[in-house]
Amino acid sequence: MTQVAQRQIFGDFVEAMPDDVEYLIIGFSANSIPLKQRWRNNGLSADFIADYLQTFFIGLEQRADDEEDSSPPIKIPIKSKNAAKYIANELLENAMKFSDDSVRYQTKIAFHLYRDKLVFHVVNVIKAERVAAFQAFIQRLLTTDDPHDLYIQQMELNASGENEGGSGLGFLSMVCDYSAKLGWCFDVLQEEQPITLVTTMVSLDV
């Protein structure tokens, strides 16, 4: 069994999730097609996830306790469905773009569906040299008083061509546009050569 040599947690990350809810896991292997070539299909995967949520959403209309509840569950609000599609697409794009293709480790996206929220997890391996820049951005995001201002700063940084660690605009949009809560777990796995596994967690109220 692979040993975790080091673990770092950032933001609203929950290590253990209950398994008594609807959930879906999709895995992408780099053995047949390089992950960076799969980004063209990210939209299809995000559409599938949003449609799946539409079918299995378990939110119910509020009723008085003594009123008989015989109607079927209401459908996921269109705003939440659009948010789920956007978040799934952004998470997949980041995972595919920054995954370490030299390591044959499966990239996975999963979500857990609760009565009032959706929780996404994406797991992928990243190159060791990208970790510091990524964690520096995470620290800025978690400590900023105004994520909208940070969004503008990141846009300006991208335009200058000085942003080597990835833009982070997708994460900022999740916070600014959808009030999502973000968390990360960085695991250094003790393999023949240590690899860094990142789990990104996004929680969205619906």
Contact present, 93 and 83 (Cβ < 8 Å): no
pLDDT the model gives residue 200: 96
**In contact, 193 and 100? CB cutoff 8 Å:** no
pLDDT tens for the chain, residues 1 to 206: 567 888 999 999 987 766 667 778 888 776 555 555 555 666 677 888 877 777 766 544 444 344 555 555 556 666 777 888 889 889 988 888 888 877 878 888 888 888 778 899 999 999 888 999 999 999 999 999 999 999 998 888 877 766 655 568 999 999 999 999 999 999 998 777 789 999 999 998 87
Contact between 95 and 87 under an 8 Å Cβ cutoff? The reply is no
Residue 173 is predicted with a pLDDT of: 94
Instruction: Tell whether the torsion through CA atoms of 167, 151, 169 and 25 is positive or negative.
Output: positive
| pLDDT, tens only, 79-119 | 777 888 889 889 988 888 888 877 878 888 888 888 778 89
Measured in degrees and rounded to the nearest 5, phi and psi for residue 59 equal: -65, 140
For residue 42 the two structure tokens come to 């990210």
Unique residue bearing structure tokens 């546009």: 177
**Cα distance from N-terminal residue to C-terminal residue, the chain:** 38
The 3-state DSSP class for residue 99 equals strand
Its pTM stands at 0.82
- Distance, CA of 29 to CA of 17 (rounded, Å): 24
Closest among 73, 172, 82 to 118, alpha carbons compared: 82
| Helix count and strand count (H, E) for the chain | 5, 6
**Cα dihedral 94/87/29/95 (nearest 10):** 10
